Amino acid sequence: MAEIILVRHGQANSTATDEESYDRLSDLGREQAKWLGDHLRETNPRFDRVLTGTLSRQVETARAMGYDRPSQDTRLNELSYFALADAALTEHGVPTPQSTADFATHLPLLMDLWMSDQLSDVPERFDSFASRITHLIDEMCNAAGRTLLVTSGGVIGVAMRHALNLDKKGMAKIMLQVTNASLHRLHFVHETLMVGGFNATPHLDTPERAHARTYV
């Protein structure tokens, strides 16, 4: 059996309006990651391999968790949300969200346009994004032992889509639910990829850390 643990990065710069300024952890994001690392050390900290994408917020999260030298794989990099949003605005008149409530409505519309190949001026087509992630997941399924992947919400959404055969709306709903520094488990057993856990935050499940549960 292979076990794959996916972790979403800690809270990034939630006031950003472009990819570059978003790609750094907030003070709370570093604390979320440290708490998660503490939890793993108290339970089962040993992994046969630890991988992150190449984005700063992903690498910073792994290091704050206590994994100082993770391997990096570009297949774990996140979708380019701001570029997609700009294309949706320019090509289809979909307004850019101005609040968290707006984002909850905006993301499913954006995913529908992207997954239907209705956005032309974008850095990456959805099929390419999904393919690189599913190929990596399939590789890890065939690797012995436990794998830790520190990544982002869109990547986790595709991994869950791959395991559960989700449609567009189902994947968008999954993505909206992925909290910062959350744990997601996939098991490859009897030649089948199965979900062993989704969106767990045991390191945040105490009253004094309720404030630290964030989505953006």
Task: Return the pLDDT at 1.
Answer: 87
Query: Do the bridges between strand 71-72 and strand 145-151 make them parallel or antiparallel, or are there none, so unpaired?
Result: unpaired
Task: Return the pLDDT at 58.
Answer: 98
- Helix runs in 66-165, H state only: 81-92, 100-115, 126-141, 153-164
Q: How confident is the prediction for the chain on average, in pLDDT? A: 95
pLDDT in tens, 34-56: 999 999 999 987 999 999 999 99
Separation of alpha carbons 107 and 6, rounded Å: 21
Write down the pTM of the prediction. Answer: 0.95
User: Tokens standing for 176?
Assistant: 């909206």
Give the residue range(s) of CATH 3.40.50.1240 domains in the chain: 2-78+127-212
Pair 8, 151: CB distance under 8 Å: yes
Pair 197, 183: CB distance under 8 Å: yes
Task: Return the pLDDT at 10.
Answer: 98
User: Tokens standing for 73?
Assistant: 């794989």
Task: Return the pLDDT at 68.
Answer: 92
The contacts found for 22-31 with CB under 8 angstroms, 24 or more apart, are 22/57, 22/82, 23/55, 23/56, 23/57, 24/56, 24/57, 24/60, 25/56, 25/57, 25/60, 25/61, 25/64, 28/212, 28/214, 29/57, 29/60, 29/61, 29/180, 29/181, 30/60, 30/64, 31/212
Task: Return the pLDDT at 101.
Answer: 84
Q: Is the pLDDT assigned to residue 194 strictly greater than 90?
A: yes
Rounded to the nearest 5°, which phi and psi values hold at 58? -75, -45
pLDDT in tens, 136-170: 999 999 998 999 999 999 999 999 999 999 998 89
Q: Which of 63, 121, 130 is nearest to 92 (CA)?
A: 121
pLDDT in tens, 110-120: 999 999 999 99
Task: Return the pLDDT at 16.
Answer: 84
Report the CATH number of the 2-78+127-212 domain: 3.40.50.1240
Rounded to the nearest 5°, which phi and psi values hold at 165? 55, 50
HSE, side-chain direction, 13 A CA sphere, residue 1 = 9
